[in-house]
Structure 1
Amino acid sequence: MKRLLLVFLMLSFVSLLADIVYEGGRSVSGAFLEYLNTPQIMVGWIGVGEFLGTLLRFLSGVIATTLGSSTALWGLTIVGYTITCLSIPMLALTSSWQLAVLLYALDRVGKGLRTPARDVILSEVAEPMGVGKGFGVHELLDQVGAFIGPIIVVAVLSLGGYSLAFSILLVPGVLAIILISLSAVMYPRVRSVVKKSVGAGFRELGRGFWVYTASISLLGLGFIHWSIASYLYKAWGLLSDVEVGLSYTLAMLVDALVAVPLGALYDKYSFKTLLALPLSSTLFALLLSLRLRLLAFASSILWGIVMSGEESIVRAALVKVV
């Protein structure tokens, strides 16, 4: 039991460290691409990386389910974290917008590979403290990393520029890779691994699941990616590079603060609560389009609300339709 708790804590701190890397790099993604004179149309290609990451979550889950192997679970998890923890710091070495876009996309590929496999492992090692409580603690540490990362980048950026800001992220990145590797050594056999047929699972999904999936997909299509929003903040002269990072820090703080209230509202009003997300997303786009400096930080608050909802009540609602 002590070993399970230790591995659980190690995995949670891996997420904290990896989020410092990812969220730190993401916080200034648009401003950095504008700094590299990236054509506006190409900034949207980071969203393609998000799509690939989401697609890879599905493929990663299929691979893990089909193989039913502890080695596959740990392998996908380690490779995924390694890609993220190295791709973002490598931005320090590039002066090419093409390479920068590729590295940001690679980060999302890493997340897509690791998330399903990691969650299987996490659910097992969290059993001694309760799976629900375990995921809550894990998410808390995850959000701590999401808050610290942008602050570190903003602080270093104001002192030494982008190269130094991205370079410093290599420290938590390497620590995360070491911790996840040690976790695999300490807990090599995942007991809950079961080989299953993927096709059978699809046949069990009802109409409600596909309608819900379509609606959430439309929400994603209408939600402006942070790289685009932060690019526009900088290109329109609304915020400086450092202020772009601070606005993302604010968004992450809002993300953390509204998660529990949104969850409580969902428990009371169920699917009606989800209407807050497209409304907030639309209002965010409206405020952004007004090109007013005073509204820039307000718009980042709305962005944080949508992100929080996607990470909490969107997942909670999925349980009811599966």
Structure 2
Amino acid sequence: MTRTSSDEFADRRRSSRTWTPWQAIVGFGLVSLTADMLYEGMRAMAGPFLGTLGASALTVGLVTGAGEGIALVLRLVTGPWADRSHRHWRLTVVGYAMTAVCVPLLAVTPFLGGAGLAVASLLILLERTGKAVRSPAKSALLARMAQPTGRGRGFAVHKALDQVGAFSGPLLLAGVAALTGLLWPGFALLAIPGALSLVLLAVLRRRVPGLADPDPEEQAPVSAQRRAAARAVGRDLPRTFHRFSLAAAFATAGLMTFGVMAYRFVEDGLLSPAAIPLVYALGMAVAGVAALATGDAFDRWGPRTLVVVPPLVAVVPLLVFANAVGLVLLGIGIWGVANGIQDSSVKAYVADLVPAGRRATAYGVFAAVQGIGALAGGALAGALITDHVAVLASVITLLQVGSLALLWPTTRRRSTSPG
């Protein structure tokens, strides 16, 4: 059939509106930036905010702990669901919408009387559910976008933009609290970046129409047998992927959460509570810069660049528990570097290790295994940080030796074949 000039004009117009891979990656990064302002701001202030509503320390621990558990473990369901249904885009939008709605609604809870604490707790849990709904699908979409640019660089740029939101959100809430003496106005203000994240998502969907198409790297439909295996937490994924997940879990177990370190800083009188958000912002800024640097190195020299993570993690407790502020800040900087690599180049390598049609499942399994490491590491640090810092540092070092032992043979080559 002969094409008319109007058809050709329409094709050219659509082509001019379609974003390049780098434009798509930056667009997705801006979505993450605005959304991170919400949920990192919420995570930074959740404990004090629940306390103002009458929560006990036990209630705060249960709500925040359950929220993190939901955000990680539920990905074992949402990852395979995205791969089976091919609804990666829809799950991404739903997940971000849950964050954009739930966090600003926390501003209403102080005015609900006795029901305020229950509603706030529910909103926090729903926001963490939204994180679980979108994360595997979002990472799979980002892996597709970044294939032409180099996945290390693509994930690195996305992570760097993500980190801008991760430190600006908590600082925004801290600033509003300092000016007003109240926590809820900060949550209300976060409705602006929440709405912006959804607008950016709509623009991204329109400018990158191929997101709704099947992944061109997927070679064949997933068989019924493979779908059954997928429901069994990714048993059909390559053995190399599972070894890499375990190595990452060991590293994560040693990479203490900022909350644990901040508790020690304040208890020892080394830093004031008012300085804690600034120190956290320092770590997040360093993480963003580290993601950019290591992403480029990953694309140039391959996954062997990831072997720097265990030594970095092993050094952190030796510095952050020193009695000099300068050493503490250096330790936070190294902690930020390790976090930046963990959340960028590590995810890029996951995409290389598994078949294209199984990426969302793989990201769900990877997050769950990493989450188990984080929970174990948090319990370990909480038990030893007060009176047994030397023991804690020794255990973290042993964990990193185990991580390196798994990581070294795993990163010998890039592979997408079971192995």
After TM superposition, the score normalised by the length of structure 1 is: 0.77
Verify: 1:106 aligned to 2:121, yes or no: no
Letter in 2 for 1:21: L
Equivalent-residue separation in structure 2 for 1:176 and 1:278 (angstroms)? 33
Verify: 1:278 aligned to 2:278, yes or no: no
Whether contact under 8 Å (1:47, 1:225) holds in the other structure is: no
5+ residue gaps, structure 2? 1-14, 111-115, 354-409, 411-415
Partner residue, 1:87: 102
Equivalent-residue separation in structure 2 for 1:294 and 1:35 (angstroms)? 34
Q: Secondary structure of 1:224's match?
A: coil
Please state how far the C-alpha of 1:170 moved relative to its aligned partner.
1.0
Partner residue, 1:149: 169
Whether contact under 8 Å (2:320, 2:327) holds in the other structure is: no
Q: Secondary structure of 2:214's match?
A: coil
Deviations 1:219-250, CA, capped at 9 Å, x for gaps:
33444334455566667776555433222211
Verify: 1:119 aligned to 2:139, yes or no: yes
Letter in 1 for 2:19: L
Whether contact under 8 Å (2:38, 2:103) holds in the other structure is: yes
> Once superposed, what is the RMSD of the aligned Cα atoms?
3.8
Equivalent-residue separation in structure 2 for 1:205 and 1:253 (angstroms)? 34
Please state how far the C-alpha of 1:110 moved relative to its aligned partner.
1.5
Which stretch shifts more, 276-285 or 84-93? 276-285
Please state how far the C-alpha of 1:14 moved relative to its aligned partner.
1.6
Whether contact under 8 Å (2:262, 2:276) holds in the other structure is: yes
Partner residue, 1:51: 69
Please state how far the C-alpha of 1:117 moved relative to its aligned partner.
1.8
Equivalent-residue separation in structure 2 for 1:140 and 1:271 (angstroms)? 17
Verify: 1:162 aligned to 2:197, yes or no: no
Equivalent-residue separation in structure 1 for 2:243 and 2:339 (angstroms)? 21
Verify: 1:15 aligned to 2:32, yes or no: yes
Which stretch shifts more, 167-176 or 105-114? 105-114
Partner residue, 2:43: 26
Letter in 2 for 1:58: L
Given candidates 238, 244, 248, the residue that maps to 1:205 is 238
Partner residue, 2:214: 192
Equivalent-residue separation in structure 1 for 2:30 and 2:107 (angstroms)? 24
Question: Alpha carbons of 1:75 and 1:313: their partners in 2 closer, same or farther (altered >3 Å)?
Answer: closer
Please state how far the C-alpha of 1:77 moved relative to its aligned partner.
0.9
Which stretch shifts more, 192-201 or 54-63? 192-201
Deviations 1:20-78, CA, capped at 9 Å, x for gaps:
2222333344554566675445554424422322223332221121123xxx2222111
Given candidates 6, 19, 34, the residue that maps to 1:5 is 19
Which stretch shifts more, 230-239 or 192-201? 230-239
Please state how far the C-alpha of 1:119 moved relative to its aligned partner.
3.3
5+ residue gaps, structure 1? none
Whether contact under 8 Å (2:39, 2:99) holds in the other structure is: yes
Letter in 1 for 2:88: L
Partner residue, 2:340: 308
Deviations 1:156-182, CA, capped at 9 Å, x for gaps:
222113111221111110121233245
Letter in 2 for 1:67: S
Whether contact under 8 Å (2:152, 2:344) holds in the other structure is: no
Question: Alpha carbons of 1:238 and 1:37: their partners in 2 closer, same or farther (altered >3 Å)?
Answer: farther
Please state how far the C-alpha of 1:311 moved relative to its aligned partner.
0.9
Question: Alpha carbons of 1:293 and 1:125: their partners in 2 closer, same or farther (altered >3 Å)?
Answer: closer
Q: Secondary structure of 1:5's match?
A: coil
Partner residue, 1:67: 85
Q: Secondary structure of 1:26's match?
A: helix
Equivalent-residue separation in structure 2 for 1:313 and 1:12 (angstroms)? 15
Deviations 1:263-316, CA, capped at 9 Å, x for gaps:
5498595453131343145447745xx7x8887655543442332232134335
Equivalent-residue separation in structure 2 for 1:178 and 1:203 (angstroms)? 38
Deviations 1:163-213, CA, capped at 9 Å, x for gaps:
11221111110121233245445638622256524427633522x433332
Equivalent-residue separation in structure 2 for 1:101 and 1:229 (angstroms)? 25
Partner residue, 2:376: none
Whether contact under 8 Å (1:156, 1:165) holds in the other structure is: yes
- Identical-residue share of aligned pairs (%): 30
Please state how far the C-alpha of 1:97 moved relative to its aligned partner.
5.9
Question: Alpha carbons of 1:129 and 1:278: their partners in 2 closer, same or farther (altered >3 Å)?
Answer: closer
